[in-house]
Amino acid sequence: MLPVPGIENVECAWVNIKSQGFTLHGFLTFLQSDHYFPEYLEGEGLGDLDIWSGHECAIFVVQSPSTAWIEYAETSDHPWWKIFGSHLYEDSHFVKLISDHSNAQVLAINGSILTFRDVFAPRLNQFQHNDEIAKILRRFGLKPTDHPSLILFKDFNDRSGWYIDLKDLVAIREQDLRASLQKWFSGPEFERLLKEASRASS
């Protein structure tokens, strides 16, 4: 999984992305109103999908990475760190400071109590996020209502790919959403697409 601010970031980094050896790429699209996708991806989902998609498949998700993700990516030499993170978060001492004191509480201007992690985690607001999803759907010739979905492709220059409709997973409980996604990534369709993309890149 590669959290990105938007589709332009993928386009600008495409040469570096290709150098990581991925044969299949994709965008996981969902709006903030597609419950429980945002909640799942902000929790355990990023880690789950990072493991399930494997080393051959790069899936981009429009999301601000948490400090926990940044620290994990740096220490594990994750492709996200090599492509996006190292130049955005060059000061690893800053990341470590936030990580070490992530649960320290601070008082926000509006009087609410936030943790250190909440204050320093980079954020996309709901409208920026939704706008980026609309750009991705347009690029692949999809309707604005074709979300949540997984759009897989071999090369960023491809204007078509494989569309996996995830609408039937909207509003199901997070544990059921997790189970459904896990089943798909361990199933024959994902395996077939990986093999097809691998053959095409050989």
pLDDT digits (tens, 9 = 90+) for 103-146: 566 554 456 565 544 444 444 567 788 999 999 999 999 999 99
For the residues 1-7, what does the mean pLDDT come to? Answer: 91
Count the helix, strand and coil residues of the chain and give each as a percent rounded to the nearest 5.
50, 15, 35
Check residues 153 and 201 and name the one with the higher pLDDT. 153
2-64+123-201 CATH choice from 3.30.70, 1.10.3470, 1.10.30, 3.40.30: 3.40.30
Query: pTM of this prediction?
Result: 0.81
User: What pLDDT was estimated at residue 111?
Assistant: 60
Q: What distance, in Å, lies between the first and last C-alpha atoms of the chain?
A: 23
Helix (H, G, I), strand (E, B) or coil at 59: strand
Per-domain boundaries in the chain: 2-64+123-201
User: What pLDDT was estimated at residue 159?
Assistant: 81
Residue 45 confidence (pLDDT) above 60? yes
User: What pLDDT was estimated at residue 66?
Assistant: 81
Check residues 199 and 202 and name the one with the higher pLDDT. 199
For the residues 29-52, what does the mean pLDDT come to? Answer: 92
Range from 101-105, 180-184, 191-195 carrying the lowest mean pLDDT: 101-105
**CA dihedral angle for residue 185, residue 147, residue 15, residue 11, rounded to 10 degrees:** -170
User: What pLDDT was estimated at residue 172?
Assistant: 93
| Residues 81-115 as b or e (16 or more Cβ within 10 Å = b) | bbbbbeeebeeeeebeebbeebeeeeeeeeeeeeb
User: What pLDDT was estimated at residue 35?
Assistant: 87
